[in-house]
Amino acid sequence: MSREDDPAGHPNYAAMDVVIAKFKRNRDHKACPRVLKEVMAAAGVEITVSTCRPLVIGPYTQPPYTCPHGTRFWIEPTGEQIAQWAQDETP
Ligand SMILES: [Zn+2]
């Protein structure tokens, strides 16, 4: 199988599982939100990270990711990311 980059700018949940595995190995809890952002950016998705459950469940809301230290992080694509996806899908 040839190695190909994931299509940037689209949520690819299978690829996210791979990058999230990296997040799960992070040892420094202070770095957890940053590492989560970095691994998602590496998968082509710009996100915001919060330890608070979102007030509104939006179309991009996913179950939280639990870091190796037991903290749950909710992630949402940034406004810019959502705008980019909308632009990509415009014929
Ligand atoms: Zn942590």
DSSP states of 16-66 = HHHHHHHHHT---GGGHHHHHHHHHHHTT--EEEESSPPSS--TT--PPEE
> Separation of 68 CA from ligand 1 center, angstroms?
5
> Separation of 64 CA from ligand 1 center, angstroms?
13
> Separation of 52 CA from ligand 1 center, angstroms?
14
The answer as to whether 45 is a domain residue is yes
> How far is it, in rounded angstroms, from Cα 43 to Cα 12?
8
Give 7-34 pLDDT, tens digit per residue. Answer: 444 455 556 777 788 889 999 999 999 9
> Separation of 21 CA from ligand 1 center, angstroms?
13
Of 26, 91, 10, 28, the closest CA to residue 65 belongs to 26
How many domains are contained in the chain?
1
Domain extent for 64:
13-88
**pTM for this predicted structure:** 0.74
Chain-centre distance for alpha carbon 34: 11
Tokens (6 digits) for 32: 């957890």
The pLDDT value recorded for residue 1 is 35
Give 29-88 pLDDT, tens digit per residue. Answer: 999 999 999 988 888 889 999 999 988 888 888 889 999 999 999 999 999 999 998 898
